Amino acid sequence: MDEGLRERKKRETRQRIADMAMGLFMARGFDNVTVAEVARAADVSVNTVFNYFKTKEDLFLDRSAMVEVMPAEVVRERATGESVIAALRRDFLDALDTRHWRYGFGDGSDVFAKLVSDSPALTSAMLQMHMERERALAEALMEATDADPDDLRPWLVATQVLNTTRVLTAHAARRMMAGEDWARIGPDIREQAEIAFGLLERGVGDYGARSGAGQDEKPPSSAARPNSST
């Protein structure tokens, strides 16, 4: 029980530091806030801040560890007979409809996007996070399809899907930053997402569909490649 209490207190301390940091970043901009100022606002030492967050960018991207693995978990938990594209489409549309933060649709996501665009350091950190997200998804696809190490399709599919969701999310953020109401943005992004995932489905097809026996079929040899016309 003592160990559980310690872990809970650690989580609470970490969350308090992250919340205080985000409040300062939103008020003054990421590059105008120091780690020392975050520490003072959270009533902890600078060393304590760095015990929980390796870099200042990690204070801003405090959910990055979760964000990086979420698409991979969707693939691993997809239903029998459900393709990779269908599973990721379902997850993306659910996040859109519920305005969940995992794809950047939560309240304040426009402010988040503006802070990133205004800071080269955050832009670089976000790029690194997206690369880790692609790597995690590609590895999940390799497992799901029992792909050979030299088979690039898991990496190609991961890149295509996640770049598609990034384009959709960025478009929504730009419209929110311009002051457009979500009542107009949401339905339009949903329509655009249906089109985008439709394009992916026609190009990627039933890649990674889970068999009824619970075992994923090994993809065809490297001689059989997806139609390159899409």
Measured between alpha carbons, how far is 29 from 49 in angstroms, rounded to an integer?
Answer: 19
Residues in the chain: 230
The residues that bridge with 216 in the sheet, in sequence order, are 210
Is residue 216 helix, strand or coil? strand
Start-to-end CA distance of the chain, whole Å, equals 56
Superfamily classification of domain 2-58: Homeodomain-like (1.10.10.60)
Distances from the Cα of 22 to the Cα of 42, 44, 70, angstroms: 11, 16, 22
Residue by residue, pLDDT tens for the chain (230 residues) are 456 888 889 999 999 999 999 999 999 999 999 999 999 999 999 999 999 999 999 999 999 999 999 999 999 999 999 999 999 999 999 999 999 999 989 888 899 999 999 999 999 999 999 999 999 999 999 999 999 999 999 999 999 999 999 999 999 999 999 999 999 999 999 999 999 999 998 887 777 787 765 445 444 444 344 443 33
pTM of the predicted model as reported, rounded to 2 decimal places: 0.82
- Position of tokens 């304590």? 48
CATH no. of 64-204: 1.10.357
Is residue 56 helix, strand or coil? helix
Measured between alpha carbons, how far is 136 from 152 in angstroms, rounded to an integer?
Answer: 14
